[in-house]
Amino acid sequence: MAHDHSNTPDLSAGNLTGSGLGAHARNFGLAAVLLIGIGAWTGFRSGDTEHFARAYVVAMMFALAICLGSMFFVIIQHLTRAGWSVVVRRPAEALMQNLRWMWILFLPIAWMGWTGRLFELFPWADLVEMAKVSPADAAIVKSSLRQDRTGDPAISSANRKLSGPAMILFGFSITFAAVDWMMSLSPVWFSTMFGVYFFAVCATCGYSSMALLCLRLQHNGKLKGIITPEHYQDLGKLLFAFGMVFWAYIAFSQFMLIWYGNLPEETAWYLSRQVGGWRWLSWALLFGHFLIPFVLLISRWPKRWPTTLAIACVWMLVFAFIDLVYLIMPHVPHDVGDFSRYSEFAAAHASDSPHLLDPTLLGLALGMLCLVISMTMRSLKGKSLLASRDPSLGESLAFQNM
């Protein structure tokens, strides 16, 4: 890392304050209401309660993954005393602040389960995991905002001390959430790597959303000269490492171990994802989540150019959503044990389809995404977009990649 003090960044209030974001928050909020309403209406009209519930879980976990991935970024930056990331930390804090209200998204599923309509879908799910994570995120954000007012360097030290226990709590909570809300959809199937797999999904969504939020703020005339191509390059590196390489490693390791063990109670989960349209979706994930973006972002320049980085981030968000559809939507057929050969099983289920363009699924997912954007903009409205009195701000402003 090198430092360059030749350029003086614009630290004026107009460049650092989230003024003018209220209209964006309102517009995205209205879009969220409309899209979620369309998804709920089409799901209700279909009469298929289980399909509607699984689509809702996909949308809920997609929104949750964005916020959990951002929380991981904030915690790890404090924990490692990273200086380069100070200028991009406030947008990440705004994204993770959504965890304070996100438990509300589980209430429709809890109500359906209470009435007995979803007991067979979530027989043991609860709200404990969200309650564990939310206090840690609130404490970190409040102390960061307090440092803007007081300039007390001891607050940075306190956040580092808090980040250690917070990271342990984060690891346990994200694992329990993945098991309770996703893996339990197939109660007879289990994988000890599933929590790590969901963490890779969260990292993909979090880093993609952070980069897009920073690019959007700069497009609106904010943080000009503060966030530079150097910072975007490092965000691109993190997306490349966690969203592509680490995800591919975990996904392949889980598949390889189950394939090698060849136990019927484990292989049935993958068999249901290798027939009909799900087979092509599996191949699409291999190319779309790993090979194509790997080639796109392996060079340093696409990470530094706003257009190519934005395209890569949108691409990765789309495939992270497809990955959640792949994890949640398929059913393990009850007749999976009635066939002696895979070809017979595949022929019997050739019509199975992921229905990616289903209005219920798309409406709920896009609506949840708009809701997260709206609440993020609302949390940034009128507040400083930069941790302006962090002791490491100078290092972050002067940051350059080697």
Give the pLDDT score at 184: 85
Give the pLDDT score at 64: 95
0.85 surpassed by pTM: yes
Residue 241 has pLDDT above 60, yes or no: yes
Alpha helices in 82-228 (DSSP H): 86-96, 107-114, 128-150, 154-181, 194-219
The rounded Cα 176 to chain-centroid distance in angstroms is 16
For 162, phi then psi, to 5°, come to -70, -30
Residue 270 has pLDDT above 90, yes or no: yes
Question: What is d(CA 127, CA 133) in angstroms, rounded to the nearest whole number?
Answer: 11
Band of residue 361 on the pLDDT scale cut at 50, 70, 90: very high
Quickly count: other Cβ atoms within 10 Å of residue 256's Cβ. Answer: 10
List of residues 6+ apart from 274 with CB closer than 8 A: 282, 346
Question: What is d(CA 28, CA 370) in angstroms, rounded to the nearest whole number?
Answer: 5
Residue 401 has pLDDT above 90, yes or no: no
Residue 159 has pLDDT above 90, yes or no: no
pLDDT tens digits along 43-97: 989 888 888 889 999 999 999 999 999 999 999 999 999 999 999 999 999 999 9
Give the pLDDT score at 208: 98
Is 171 inside a domain boundary?
Answer: yes
| First-last CA distance in the chain | 5
Give the pLDDT score at 153: 84
Give the pLDDT score at 49: 81
The two most distant CA atoms of the chain are separated, in Å, by: 72
Give the pLDDT score at 3: 45
In the DSSP assignment, the letter for residue 3 is: E
Question: What is d(CA 73, CA 204) in angstroms, rounded to the nearest whole number?
Answer: 11
Mean predicted confidence (pLDDT) in 339-357? 86
Question: What is d(CA 264, CA 296) in angstroms, rounded to the nearest whole number?
Answer: 38
Residue 249 has pLDDT above 80, yes or no: yes
Is 402 inside a domain boundary?
Answer: no
pLDDT tens digits along 197-206: 999 999 999 9
Give the pLDDT score at 142: 78
Tokens read off for 189: 């199937």
Can you tell me whether residue 166 is helix, strand or coil? helix
Give the pLDDT score at 341: 85
Tokens read off for 62: 């997609």
Band of residue 150 on the pLDDT scale cut at 50, 70, 90: confident
Give the pLDDT score at 7: 63
Residue 145 has pLDDT above 60, yes or no: yes
Give the pLDDT score at 4: 46
Give the pLDDT score at 378: 94
**Tokens 């019509």 belong to which residue?**
351
- Do 34 and 340 touch, CB atoms closer than 8 A? no
Give the pLDDT score at 5: 44
Band of residue 278 on the pLDDT scale cut at 50, 70, 90: very high
Q: Bridge-partner residues for 399, per DSSP?
A: 3
Question: Considering its fold, how many domains does the chain have in total?
Answer: 1
Averaged pLDDT score across all residues of the chain: 89
Tokens read off for 272: 């249901």
* 315-342 b/e (C-beta count within 10 Å ≥ 16 → b): bbbebbbbbbbbbbbbebbeebeebeee
Mean predicted confidence (pLDDT) in 294-299? 95
Answer with the residue of higher pLDDT: 338 or 218. 218
Mean predicted confidence (pLDDT) in 230-255? 97
Question: What is d(CA 400, CA 248) in angstroms, rounded to the nearest whole number?
Answer: 29
List of residues 6+ apart from 126 with CB closer than 8 A: 180
Give the pLDDT score at 19: 80
Give the pLDDT score at 2: 43
**Tokens 């090979």 belong to which residue?**
291
Please classify residue 38 by burial: count the beta carbons closer than 10 Å to its beta carbon, then call 0-12 exposed, 13-18 middle and 19+ buried.
Answer: middle
Q: Bridge-partner residues for 384, per DSSP?
A: 17
Residue 27 has pLDDT above 80, yes or no: yes
Mean predicted confidence (pLDDT) in 267-289? 94
Residue 132 has pLDDT above 90, yes or no: no
Is 13 inside a domain boundary?
Answer: no
Give the pLDDT score at 185: 86
Question: What is d(CA 8, CA 160) in angstroms, rounded to the nearest whole number?
Answer: 29
Residue 127 has pLDDT above 80, yes or no: no
List of residues 6+ apart from 89 with CB closer than 8 A: 74, 77, 144, 387, 390
Residue 224 has pLDDT above 50, yes or no: yes
Is 320 inside a domain boundary?
Answer: yes
Is 18 inside a domain boundary?
Answer: no
Q: Which helix (H) or strand (E) holds 64?
A: helix 49-79
Give the pLDDT score at 1: 44
Q: Which of 83-87, 130-134, 155-159, 310-314 is the least confident region?
A: 130-134
> Could you list the residue range(s) of the whole structural domain that residue 373 is in?
2-7+23-397
Mean predicted confidence (pLDDT) in 349-353? 87
Tokens read off for 29: 């909020």
